[in-house]
Structure 1
Amino acid sequence: MVLDLLVIGTAITLGPLHNSAFILLLSSQRGARKGLAFVLSWLANLVAVVVCVLLLTGGTPPARHSTPSTVADAAELAIGVGLVGYGVYRRRRSPRPHGPPRWEGRVDNASLGTAAGLAWLLQPWALVGAGAAVVVDADLSSLTDWIALIVYCLLATLSLAVMEVYALRSPAAADARLSGLRTWLAQHQERLIVTLSLVAGVYLTARGIYQLVA
């Protein structure tokens, strides 16, 4: 479970879409406050999903090949296959010019609530769902599993937290460097999406198959 959560948490934190949106928020009026609202909402969403799963399992992993265990493994396999398919689709389709999202022009006037809602909207829910399927195996009587769950939530939020702290400590330098990072993310967005989808998808597919047949 520990390795699975590390892989999923890393894939989540490296996603280009939410990182680009977050940089845009930081560069807007009251950017640091909006960024903080985004980060807290993002982390709260992850924690809420983990807590819901633990409430359903009672903090005790189901027996191997029981119905709950099989459903979780099948869900992980389905998400993995879906990510692989999505990555292949994005890789094969013809390049398309993308204009800025409609919400970009409204970021300057966005409220803190809107920034928090944007975090919920941009969260990669397929990967979050895969994380939930893995959390089914968490045993709350194990300190290692507790640490794994905490590290997973923090790792999935790491890129946002680093940028928020940087913007708070060195606003001028952060504005220039994060603007450059956003430009780089925009230029490589398609490749990053394809790579993350394929890597995470292959891993989840392989793990799902192994869990179902082992």
Structure 2
Amino acid sequence: MVLDLLLIALAITLDPLPVMAFVLVVASANGVWKGLVFILGWLACFVAVIALVLGLTGGQPPPPRSPPSTAALAAKLLIGVSLVVYGERRRRRRLAGARARTGGKGTAPAAGRDPAAGVSTPSTARERTADMSSRMDRSTVWSAAGLAVLLQPWGMVAAGATTVVEADASHLATWLALFGFCLLATASLLAVELYVVFSPTRAKARLLRLRAWLDGHKEQALVTICLVLGFWLVGKSIFQLTA
């Protein structure tokens, strides 16, 4: 259970999409408070899911090969397959987009190409970031909490829930593992929040540059995360179902 939770939490914290949105949150007006509420909403989702699973199991893992245990493994297998399919579809779409931009000849696209053709240029990326930053400036702290719920990678959270089914709440090690899961899954957001708190003058510009870099590499990251975690869940579930 512990290794599965560690890998799932690592995948969640490395997901670039929540980090990109969180950078805009903390870079907006009253960003520190909005960021804090975002993190609290983010953590509340994990706590609610864990509490729900422990409530259903009574804090005791179901016996091996019992219907609840088999159902949890089947659900984990389904989630793993879904992540693999999702990651492969994004990989193929990325390759197709790269071929379209180069005209299928492996050459770089011409400078100044029309953004309407589906090519993201630095100027359009800056305009998009500026527009989103403006909207975040007008948002409230409660909007930040709602955004945290919407941006949860719920597929990975569901994988964590199927793993928590194995938790034995009578052991201190179990609670430490669950605490570690929540902390690691929030680590990237906490790092950004603390950076803004302790270095507010330099943080905004550097974090916006980080967001621009993530925007250019998010597809590679998402494909890698989904495929690695998906294959792990599939392999582990099949092994446990057939052992």
What TM-score bracket applies, with the shorter chain setting the length? over 0.9
| 1:202 paired residue number | 231
5 Å-filtered alignment, 1:139-150, equals 139-150=168-179
Match of residue 155, structure 1, among 184, 192, 197: 184
Post-superposition Cα deviations, 1:167-190, rounded to whole Å, max 9, x if no partner, equal 011101211221121111001011
Relative to the length of structure 2, the TM-score reads: 0.85
Structure 1 segments, 4+ long, off by >6 Å, are: none
Paired letter, 1:174 = A
Q: How far apart, CA to CA, are the structure 2 residues paired with 1:212 and 1:105?
A: 51
Sequence identity percentage: 52
AA of the residue aligned to 1:12: I
Identify unmatched segments of 5+ residues in structure 2: 98-117
- Matched to 1:110, the amino acid is S
CA RMSD of aligned residues (A): 1.5
Q: Which amino acid aligns with 1:135?
A: V
Secondary structure of the residue that 2:11 maps to in structure 1? helix
1:70-122 residue CA offsets vs partner (Å, 9 max, x unmatched) = 11101110000000011110001122546749866421111111100000000
Q: By how many angstroms is 1:68 displaced?
A: 0.7
Counterpart Cα distance in 1 of 2:222 and 2:134 = 24
Aligned to 1:32: 32
Q: Which structure 1 residue ranges, 5 or more long, are not aligned?
A: none
Deviation at 1:130, TM superposition (A): 0.1
Q: Which amino acid aligns with 1:60?
A: Q
Tell me whether 204-213 or 96-105 shows the greater mean CA deviation.
96-105
Q: What is the count of residue pairs matched by the alignment?
A: 214
Q: 1:1-214, aligned counterparts within 5 Å?
A: 1-93=1-93, 94-95=96-97, 97=119, 100=128, 105-214=134-243
The corresponding residue for 2:108 is none
Greater C-alpha Rg: 2
Distance 1:151 1:205 in 2: 23
Does the C-alpha gap of structure 1 residues 124 and 73 become closer, same or farther in structure 2, counting only changes over 3 Å?
Answer: same
Q: Structure 1: how far apart are the matches of 2:79 and 2:237?
A: 9
